[in-house]
Amino acid sequence: MMLGTFNRDRARAIESFHRLAELDTEVACFGHGEPIGSKAGVELLAAAAKLNA
């Protein structure tokens, strides 16, 4: 998971991603890249955890 280069406030972007990751969602579609077709919430939480590292 990589934050885009156009984020002016990295801390706020990470905070926003964490809020989205906490949603219990099955499918996630993005403006770029492949969608997550099942258990998207689990994958988003894992990506959010890596942002803290």
In-domain check, residue 45: yes
The residue among 9 and 35 whose pLDDT is bigger is 35
How many angstroms separate the Cα of 28 from the Cα of each of 6, 9, 21, 49, 53?
A: 21, 23, 10, 17, 23
Among the ranges given (1-5, 12-16, 31-35, 37-41), the one the predictor scored with the smallest mean pLDDT: 1-5
In-domain check, residue 22: yes
As for how many domains the chain has, the answer is 1
CB 14 within 8 A of CB 21: no
pLDDT tens for residues 11-26?
888 898 889 889 989 9
In-domain check, residue 29: yes
In-domain check, residue 1: no
